[in-house]
């Protein structure tokens, strides 16, 4: 241990005899490590982290597709959703949502635009997530003529209301209607299921609940015990074919498709994210190559010094230990600066993030 500490002290003194070259090496390491760390920190939760729901691998999206080419045509209508629920053999729960803008007026404040997630009363139960405060929607909340109720997102609750638990049970003006706040939904989840507020979908979409031709709902479901995605897909195709036969005007050419939630959410961004991950890997490789070249150039510039020290009795092992100590010191400094740079970059990304 004493030998190692002596090598570190000698390496520290030697490293700062050439501040310009070492500063360049540290800068290269910091920029490379910082950039790679920041980008992998962004990629990791998107690509590898499980969805924050109970048994997320059993969650699926159900979309309507064009029977001719299989391309997605949109979500479901209210009547189709009711038929899917009644006829499925492979889905234990089916919920739905539609995103929209809304106006929120706080006491003493001016109205502001927020993002609303208009949901069926059982969407949270389908996802397997519970409010962190208050209660979930009931079936009676999601009917025509029901009193307006809503749940706030945790970010809105904390950011605009100081995480005040007494807010539950009070009323806020949402889209001009006095609305009872019944709960707070936890933060997290994919962007598609984020909103400033959650509110029942039927009262907000009342003009469409009897129109089979208006396909406005994104449908989330949970696989029944023992059912696979392929089995659910075949099941929903069977139901879609029956509905096309029963309602040829509204459902002509419409099929259904079941896809895993995580796979669907990644579908549009998987390729660019993969390219970004490859670019970050190449950047890290170039950083290592540049650092190695700088170390070699540094060693070449010290050839005369090394020859003198060798002639004075310094053995090869001793010289290698000191080189290793110097490189370790420079790598640690570059790594620490890189981590600091990555942290600062992530804070900027979070500040600029438009999602709630």
Domain check: are 38 and 93 in the same one?
A: no
Close Cβ partners of 63 (under 8 Å, ≥ 6 residues apart): 72, 73, 74, 75, 219, 256, 257, 259
Q: Give pLDDT tens digits for 129-162.
A: 999 999 999 999 999 889 999 999 999 999 999 9
- Do 244 and 164 lie in a common domain? yes
Per-residue confidence band for 319, with pLDDT thresholds at 50, 70 and 90: low
**pLDDT, tens digit, for every residue of 272-300?**
767 777 877 787 788 788 777 777 776 66
Mean pLDDT within 210-222: 89
Q: Are the beta carbons of 221 and 93 closer than 8 angstroms?
A: yes
As a whole number, the mean pLDDT across the chain is 82
Query: How much is the pTM?
Result: 0.69
Give yes or no for residue 80 having a pLDDT over 90: yes
Among 238, 267, 296, the domain boundary falls at 267
Asked if pLDDT for residue 356 goes beyond 50, the answer is no
The verdict on 70 and 128 lying in the same domain is yes
13 and 152 fall within a common domain: no
Burial 68-102, CB ≥16 within 10 A → b, else e? eeeeebebbbbbbbebbbeebebbebbbbbbebeb
> Are residues 275 and 244 part of one domain?
no
Same domain, 98 and 158: yes
Residues 219 and 336 in one domain: no
- Per the structure, how many domains does the chain have? 2
Examine the pLDDT at 355 and tell me if it is beyond 50: no
- 186 with 261, same domain? yes
Q: Which domain holds residue 31?
A: 2-48+269-352
Mean local confidence (pLDDT), 337-351 = 79
Report which of 197, 180, 210 is spatially closest to residue 100, judged by C-alpha positions. 197
Residues in the chain: 356
Strands (E), the chain: 59-66, 72-74, 91-105, 112-119, 133-134, 149-153, 171-174, 177-185, 197-200, 218-223, 254-260
- pLDDT (0 to 100) of residue 16: 62
Do 340 and 314 belong together in one domain? Answer: yes
**Boundary (domain end) residue, out of 234, 267, 300:** 267
What is the pLDDT confidence band of residue 17, given thresholds at 50, 70 and 90? low
295 and 240 belong to one structural domain: no
Instruction: Give the pLDDT confidence score for residue 354 in this predicted structure.
Output: 46
pLDDT-derived band at 221, boundaries 50, 70, 90: very high
Q: Do the strands 112-119 and 197-200 form a parallel or antiparallel pair, or are they unpaired?
A: parallel
Whether residue 258 is found in the same domain as residue 282: no
Q: What is the mean pLDDT of residues 72-81?
A: 86
Based on the fold, state whether residues 120 and 109 are members of the same structural domain: yes
pLDDT digits (tens, 9 = 90+) for 102-131: 999 977 778 899 999 999 999 999 999 999
Residue the block writes with tokens 């390496």: 11
Domain end, chosen from 249, 267, 285, is at 267
State the average pLDDT over residues 24-47.
76
């Amino acid at each position: 241990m004493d030998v190692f500490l002596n090598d570190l002290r000698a390496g520290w003194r030697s490293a700062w005899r050439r501040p310009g070259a070492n500063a360049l090496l540290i800068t290269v390491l910091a920029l490379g490590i910082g950039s790679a760390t920041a980008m992998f920190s962004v990629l990791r939760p998107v690509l590898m982290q499980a969805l924050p729901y109970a048994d997320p691998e059993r969650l699926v999206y159900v979309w309507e597709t064009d029977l001719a080419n299989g391309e997605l045509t949109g979500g479901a209508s209210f009547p189709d959703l009711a038929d899917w629920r009644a006829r499925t053999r492979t889905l234990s729960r089916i919920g739905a949502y539609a995103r929209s803008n809304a106006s929120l007026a706080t006491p003493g404040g001016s109205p502001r635009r927020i993002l609303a997630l208009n949901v069926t009363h059982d969407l949270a139960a389908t996802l397997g997530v519970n409010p962190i405060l208050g209660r979930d929607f009931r079936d009676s909340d999601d009917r025509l003529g029901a009193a307006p109720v809503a749940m706030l997102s945790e970010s809105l609750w904390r950011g605009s209301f100081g995480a005040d638990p007494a807010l539950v049970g009070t009323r806020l003006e949402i889209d001009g209607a006095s609305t009872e706040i019944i709960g707070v939904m936890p933060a997290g989840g994919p962007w598609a299921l984020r909103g400033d507020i959650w509110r029942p979908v039927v009262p907000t979409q009342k003009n469409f609940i009897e129109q089979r031709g208006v396909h406005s709902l994104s449908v989330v479901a949970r696989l029944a015990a023992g059912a696979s995605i392929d089995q659910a897909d075949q099941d929903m195709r069977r139901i879609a074919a029956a509905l096309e036969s029963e309602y040829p005007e509204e459902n002509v050419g419409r099929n259904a498709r079941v896809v895993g939630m995580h796979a669907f959410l990644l579908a549009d961004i998987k390729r660019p994210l993969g390219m970004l991950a490859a670019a970050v890997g190449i950047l890290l490789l170039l950083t290592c190559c540049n650092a190695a070249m700088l170390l070699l150039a540094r060693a070449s510039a010290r050839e005369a010094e090394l020859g003198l020290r060798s002639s004075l009795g310094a053995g090869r092992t001793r010289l290698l230990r000191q080189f290793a100590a110097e490189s370790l010191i420079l790598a640690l400094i570059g790594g620490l600066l890189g981590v600091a740079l990555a942290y600062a970059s992530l804070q900027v990304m979070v500040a600029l993030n438009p999602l709630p």
